[in-house]
Amino acid sequence: MSGTGSIGRRLTLLLAGVAALLSVLSWGMVTSFALQAAERTQDNILAASATIIAETLRTEQGEVRLELPYAAFSMLGAVSEDAVYYRVMAGDAMLTGYEDLTGGRQPDLPGQVVFDTIEYRGASLRMASITRLVLAGTQPQPVTVSVAQTRNGIGTIAGDLSRTAAIMSVAFFVLAVALSAFAARTSLRPLTDFAQAVSRRGPSDLRPLRREAPAELAPLMTSLNRLMDRLGQSIRRSEDFIAEAAHRVRTPLATVRAQAEIVLHSTESEDEKHRLRKMIRAVDESSRSAGQLLDHATVAYRAENLARDQVDLADLAATVADALRPTASMKDIEIELTTESALVLGDPVLLENALRNVLDNAVKYSADETTIALRVASDGIESVITVCDQGPGLGDGPVDHLTERFRRGGNVEGIVGSGLGLTIASDVLTAHSGRLDLHSQEEGPGACVSLVLPSA
Amino acid sequence: MGLTRARQGQPEYHGGAVRYLLVEDNRELAEAVVKRLGLDGHAVDHAATLAEAEDCLAAASYDLILLDVMLPDGDGREFLARGRDRFATPVIVLTARSQVSDRVGALDQGADDYITKPFDFSELEARCRAVLRRRGGSARNEIALGNALFDPTAGTLSHGGTSVELRNREIRLLEVFARHPGQILSKSHLMDRLFSYEADVTENAIEVYVGRLRKKLDGMGVRIETVRGMGYRLGGP
């Protein structure tokens, strides 16, 4: 996956990012709620404790009396080990408690409980204060009860809750990432299936795709089918064009050749006969050239979209030998076939084309009443078709150049040919990661051409 | 029934002559092929369309059909595929393309062989012989030569209980003689028939083949005579 990267990975990352954000947010919220809840609990107990103390206030002989109830403090102790401080003030006079426990909000109205957080002896305290009017003598006197407690306990509780929340958030995040990956893969499966269905196809398979596709893929499938349809049409058009071109060129050539033969039969003039023979040879030459040019065009086109069918070279050799035997027999040339099964992967049309050109060359350059040996062999790594003739051999020129376009050997005077045959064969083999080997016969005259292909 | 029936030059021997149905839409080419095959004593009916071909097949029987693949009223190969079970006549497809796959395609559809335009008539005849041989050549293809029977389809010359095999060029050479008995045939004419107008053939080559035929015809009551300065002639004992 290159360019814009993988959709699956992007989708997973996006979903995981959202999950991470939600995890952090939920952790923060749980922590803050826990702290608030703990604080509210402490406030309530402090308020309750202050209220109980305030309830025990009474007047004795015009004096405000107080008996500190034990329950008021045991309640606080039940919650945590935190230190508890208190102070009871009647007006400006201190009744009992810690003298230096000062500051903090004081209630404005009797019966009202107010809370505040203060600094005391280097620790942070939460303090609840309540004021009650007590009748001392004739005057109602305001008495304020303050109860304070350090806040270590709720810090611990909030910390515990926060840690638990963090662990749960992490677990949630991990689960969310796994689910994201799963969701991304599941929702992308139709796309993956679609891509595989397209890539599994051979280069020449241009049938429209017929499969259930999700709505999002339908436009892609439609345009792909339309593209394949257009491609198919254009291929058919160019194949039709090649067929039509061949037809248009060769039919009049056939007429010319037939007419020339008729005249050759009826004329007595040796000079005319000589000219007519030249004419027939020229017709044969242009027919051959036209054929090879069309072959060359076919090879150039098909090699770009190379099919990978399994081809047995033994069958291929037998087919091509059968096709050329009647032509060879016109010169009383035997084609001797020795084959063993040799499987390769490739385009059967191109491979046939290559072998036909090589064998056709051999028939063309061989002397009358000779034998052409056509052998197919395979060692499991390479499969080889070898065509050996008893013709004039490869000549003294450089052998490599014989496969170049329109290049002919230096010893082919008087033989019809355009020099494209070996080029076509060589191009076909190169497209199949194979090669064309040219060498002289080890014993006696003649040349061998080997078509070497990697075995399937 | 718009078909042109052409019987050019009655054959001296019926033996070896083939009755063709040529299905070809190009009139120029058809006319030339009819005339050219007629020179060898073959009878050729011409149909320009598949419909005409159907009419011909309904009206007469043929030894061989020469079928063009591109016709105005359809593809010759489809005609083949459609009609293969209706007529048993062997078919040689005329194609403008030389690709083997084309040939295989045509053969799969039921053609017996194919030949690429433009074609050498000697090769066409050789292919016809091969097709007829595969189909089991009929007795009327045998030509009586002296005491012997020459079967160009099988490529044999039989005399008494013995039979001699002939090679491709020997068959073609003897066929030319057999079709024109008593007629003087020039070396250059024979060369054209045998070597397909090749450039560098000498007259010696013809002498070699005539020599071989003479050896094989020895004692069969027929021989090839040399007519000094003019050529050869097939004559009696």
CA distance A423 to A435: 11
Name beta bridge partners: B68.
Answer: B94
Q: Could you report the per-residue pLDDT of B59-74, keeping only the tens digit for each?
A: 888 889 999 888 888 8
Distance separating alpha carbons of residues B89 and B60, to the nearest angstrom: 11
User: How near does any CA of chain B get to the CA of A222, in Å?
Assistant: 33
What pLDDT was estimated at residue A383? 95
**Rounded to whole angstroms, how far apart are CA atoms A194 and A383?**
36
Please judge whether A352 and B100 are an interchain contact, meaning their C-beta atoms are less than 8 angstroms apart: yes
Residue ranges and CATH numbers for the domains of chain B are 4-134 (3.40.50.2300), 142-235 (1.10.10.10)
H/E run at residue A116: strand A113-120
d(CA B169, CA A156) in angstroms, rounded, equals: 115
Q: Quick check: B142 and B150 in contact, CB under 8 A?
A: yes
Q: What integer is the mean pLDDT of A169-197? A: 87
Q: What average pLDDT score do residues A147-168 get?
A: 85
Q: What is the pLDDT of residue A395?
A: 60
| Cβ distance of B100 and A327 shorter than 8 Å | no
On the question of pLDDT at B8 being above 70, the answer is no
Q: Mind giving me the DSSP string for A184-247?
A: HHHHHHHHHHHHHHHHTS-TT--PPP-S---TTTHHHHHHHHHHHHHHHHHHHHHHHHHHHHHH
Indicate the length of chain B as a whole number: 237
Contact B197 A243 (CB under 8 A): no
Task: Please judge whether A258 and B168 are an interchain contact, meaning their C-beta atoms are less than 8 angstroms apart.
Answer: no
Q: Work out the average pLDDT over A389-394.
A: 75
Contact call for A280 and B167, based on CB within 8 A: no
Query: Residue A379, Cα to own-chain centre: how many angstroms?
Result: 38
Over residues B108-140, the pLDDT tens digits come to: 677 888 888 888 888 888 888 888 888 775 545
Q: Into which CATH architecture does domain A307-456 fall? A: 2-Layer Sandwich (3.30)
- Which residue of chain A comes nearest to B24, CA vs CA? A251
Query: What is the residue type of A69?
Result: P
Residues B210-227 pLDDT 10s: 999 999 988 888 889 999
Instruction: For the domain covering A7-158, report its CATH number.
Output: 3.30.450
Name the residue in chain B with its Cα closest to that of A286: B118
The answer to whether the Cβ–Cβ distance between A262 and B32 falls below 8 Å is yes
Q: Note which residues in 107-126 of chain B have CB less than 8 A from chain A.
A: 113, 116-123, 126
User: Which pairing describes strands A139-150 and A371-378: parallel, antiparallel, or unpaired?
Assistant: unpaired
Q: Do B96 and A247 touch (CB under 8 A)?
A: yes
User: How confident is the model over A266-276, as pLDDT tens digits?
Assistant: 888 889 988 99
Q: What is the dihedral of CA A34, A36, A41, A47, to 10 degrees?
A: 170
**What are A274-308's pLDDT values in tens digits?**
899 999 999 988 888 888 888 888 787 777 778 88
pLDDT confidence of A414, banded at 50, 70, 90?
A: very low
**pLDDT range class, residue A452, cuts 50, 70, 90:** very high
- Chain A: give the shortest CA distance to residue B146, in Å: 27
Residue pLDDT, tens place only, A27-54: 999 888 888 888 888 889 889 988 888 8
Which residue, among B22, B68, B69, B100, would best test binding to A if mutated, counting the most A CBs under 10 Å from its CB?
A: B100
Of the pLDDT bands very low, low, confident and very high (cuts 50, 70, 90), residue B98 is low
ipTM of the complex: 0.82
Question: Of chain B residues 208-237, which have a CB less than 8 A from chain A?
Answer: none
CB contact under 8 A, B188 and A249: no
Inter-chain touch B96–A251, beta carbons under 8 Å: yes
Angle at B61 between CA B56 and CA B64, to 5 degrees: 90
Please tell me the least confidently modeled range out of A442-451, B80-89, B224-233: B80-89
Contact between chains at B118 and A353 (C-beta distance less than 8 A): no
Question: In chain A, which among 308-347 make CB contacts under 8 A with chain B?
Answer: 319-320, 323, 326-327, 329-332
Q: Which of A238, A265, A309 should be substituted to probe chain B, the one whose Cβ sees the most B Cβ atoms within 10 Å? A: A265
CATH number for the domain formed by residue range(s) A204-305:
1.10.287
Reported confidence tier of residue A79, pLDDT bands at 50, 70, 90: low
Q: In b/e form, how buried is each residue of A312-350, taking b as 16+ CB within 10 angstroms?
A: bbbebbebbbbbbbbbbbbbebebebebeebebbbbbbb
Which range among A122-131, A314-323, A407-416 has the greatest average pLDDT? Answer: A314-323
List CB contacts (< 8 A) between A298 and chain B.
Answer: 99
Q: For residue range B16-67, what is the model confidence (pLDDT) as tens digits?
A: 678 899 999 999 999 999 999 888 888 899 999 999 999 999 888 888 999 9
| Best to test chain B binding among A238, A261, A264, A355 (most B CBs inside 10 Å) | A261
Answer whether A283 sits within 8 Å of B101, measured CB to CB.
Answer: no
- Annotated domain spans of chain A: 7-158, 204-305, 307-456
Contacts A291 to B, Cβ<8 Å:
97-98, 116
- List Cα–Cα distances, A159 to A28, A41, A119, A260, in angstroms: 12, 16, 21, 111
Chain A nearest-CA distance from B82, in A, is 22
CA B217/CA A370 separation, integer angstroms = 24
What is the spatial distance between Cα B177 and Cα A140, in angstroms, rounded to a whole number? 161
Interface list for B 20-39 with A (CB within 8 A): 26, 28-29, 32-33, 35-36, 39
The beta-carbon neighbor of A329 closest among B39, B126, B200 is B126
pLDDT digits (tens, 9 = 90+) for B147-164: 888 888 888 888 888 888
